[in-house]
A = this chain, B = another copy of it.
Amino acid sequence: MVMNRDICDLSRGELVTLKTQLDAAYAELCGRNLKLDMSRGKPAPDQLDACSGALTDPFGSFKAEDGADARNYGVLEGLPEAKRYFGELLDLDPARIIVGGNASLNLMYDMLMRLYVFGVGGNPPWRTFRKVKFLCPAPGYDRHFAITGELGFEMLTVRMTPTGPDMDEVERLVADPEVKGIWCVPLYSNPQGICYSDETVRRLGRMKCAAPDFKIFWDNAYGVHHLYEETPLYDIFKACEDGGNPARAYYFFSTSKITFPGGGVSIFATGYGEHAEIVRHLGIQTISYDKLNQLRTIRFLKDKATTKKHMEKMASFLRPKFDTVLDTLDRELAGTGLATWTKPRGGYFVAVDVLPGCAKRVVELAANAGVKLTGAGATYPLHHDPADSNLRIAPTYPSVAELAQAMELFCLSVKLAAVEKLLAK
């Protein structure tokens, strides 16, 4: 088989020969009857087992430190010790923080619904505008784009660079008053693992937006999810305050990938000026989030130092998986001209760009052989990747052995899709 030569340079005859070899290899892999799901960034069971203490440690007392009974109604903004814990962990003032339920996605959805229905800060509700546009750095997180899509916003794709979204483009776009916000995953972005530079964050904070209620949805989903060294992240609230825009950022975080995706604790932090207004709306929506889960989670994670140690353990589960992905990509695809990919230092994903027009076919080939990948296009607004090129690999759920097989199939599918494409020219 032709190994790691630029396949795009092969003659037609060489391509036909290669295709025969790839078809045979693909048939062999199909025969293994794989059944793997790499479509979502789910922690693996052994990772979750390492968090069991959060569920099985005896409860001791149901009282929060201020005497509130965590079992009963009340404490809308979250237990004081939970606010303090997240404040220490993320260098946030606890006074900014609202502690929510098990899903930060739901907090983002709720905040967008509030902006749409009620507006904030004395600005008109977004439903009253003829058109609302939202900046979507892409590739990005499909569930973000699904929310702004459901609200009928026009989603403007912004190219990602190694230091975050293309800020020249962002600054140009926010001069349009219809542009009301931007989605950001600032650390180990989903799916590329890109970390925003200090300058990117500062520019987001100080840029001149025509919309007075332009909002940054700062989803720091992987804020403590380092695979190797710690990557620093510039304080978005400081950037916005220094830029004269103290109400610009909404900060989201959760323990979904620290303890349990299905039963973690989420938080939402805002500029000081809007906190009371949002809490007032929240008080109409619910009486209180699950404070027992706050107590349970915070007693397990304790403090920043304990959580860092815990996340080092989590990283020890994940590193061999990321290594398997990257080693296989290197071995099978380096030098072939068929793909480029990122080497994230944290987070939950690896992004691969294949030959234009091939991503959908790769997903199809992998699926037919028993491996479910994230749908092609999912990382773009409305599931439309204009180049049909970007693929997201979610290596966290399968075991290393399963992953090795899945990646073998993935790389083979990339080659096969490319050769099909080249032969069809």
What are the interface flags for A150-162 relative to B under an 8 Å C-beta threshold, 1 for contact and 0 otherwise?
A: 1100000000000
* Complex-state Cα separation, A40 to B72, whole angstroms: 11
A26 at interface by CB-CB < 8 Å: no
Given A55-B59, A56-B58, A113-B113: A287 and B261 within 8 A (CB)? yes
- Contact partners of A262 in chain B: CB under 8 A: 69-75, 288, 290-292
Contact with A127, one of B70, B101, B106, B117 (Cβ below 8 angstroms): B117
A146 close to B284 (CB less than 8 A): yes
* Complex-state Cα separation, A55 to B299, whole angstroms: 15
B48 close to A102 (CB less than 8 A): no
A73 close to B285 (CB less than 8 A): no
Q: How far is the CB of A234 from chain B (nearest CB, A)?
A: 29
- Contact partners of A105 in chain B: CB under 8 A: 285-287
A103 at interface by CB-CB < 8 Å: yes
What are the interface flags for A308-334 relative to B under an 8 Å C-beta threshold, 1 for contact and 0 otherwise?
A: 000000000000000000000000000
Contact with A102, one of B42, B101, B116 (Cβ below 8 angstroms): B101
B102 close to A285 (CB less than 8 A): no
A287 close to B127 (CB less than 8 A): no
A34 at interface by CB-CB < 8 Å: no
A62 at interface by CB-CB < 8 Å: yes
B289 close to A102 (CB less than 8 A): yes
* Complex-state Cα separation, A292 to B293, whole angstroms: 10
- Contact partners of A289 in chain B: CB under 8 A: 101-103
Number of interface residues of A (CB under 8 A): 50
What are the interface flags for A276-315 relative to B under an 8 Å C-beta threshold, 1 for contact and 0 otherwise?
A: 0000010011111111110000000000000000000000
Q: How far is the CB of A145 from chain B (nearest CB, A)?
A: 10
A260 at interface by CB-CB < 8 Å: yes
Given A58-B56, A69-B48, A113-B117: A263 and B291 within 8 A (CB)? yes
A341 at interface by CB-CB < 8 Å: no
- Contact partners of A102 in chain B: CB under 8 A: 101, 288-290
- Contact partners of A109 in chain B: CB under 8 A: 284-286
Q: Which of A47-86 contact B (CB under 8 A)?
A: 48, 51, 55-56, 58-59, 62, 69-75
A421 at interface by CB-CB < 8 Å: no
* Complex-state Cα separation, A292 to B261, whole angstroms: 10
B45 close to A263 (CB less than 8 A): no
- Contact partners of A113 in chain B: CB under 8 A: 113, 117
What are the interface flags for A91-119 relative to B under an 8 Å C-beta threshold, 1 for contact and 0 otherwise?
A: 00000000001110110010001001110
What are the interface flags for A202-224 relative to B under an 8 Å C-beta threshold, 1 for contact and 0 otherwise?
A: 00000000000000000000000
Query: Using a CB–CB distance below 8 Å, which chain A residues touch chain B?
Result: 40, 42-43, 45, 48, 51, 55-56, 58-59, 62, 69-75, 101-103, 105-106, 109, 113, 116-118, 127, 143, 146-147, 150-151, 256, 260-263, 281, 284-293
Give the 7 A-B CB pairs with smallest separation, nearest first. Answer: A263-B292, A73-B261, A71-B260, A106-B286, A102-B290, A109-B285, A48-B71
List 9 extra interface pairs beyond A72-B260, A147-B284, A262-B291, CB under 8 A.
A51-B71, A70-B262, A71-B263, A75-B262, A105-B287, A261-B288, A263-B291, A263-B292, A293-B293
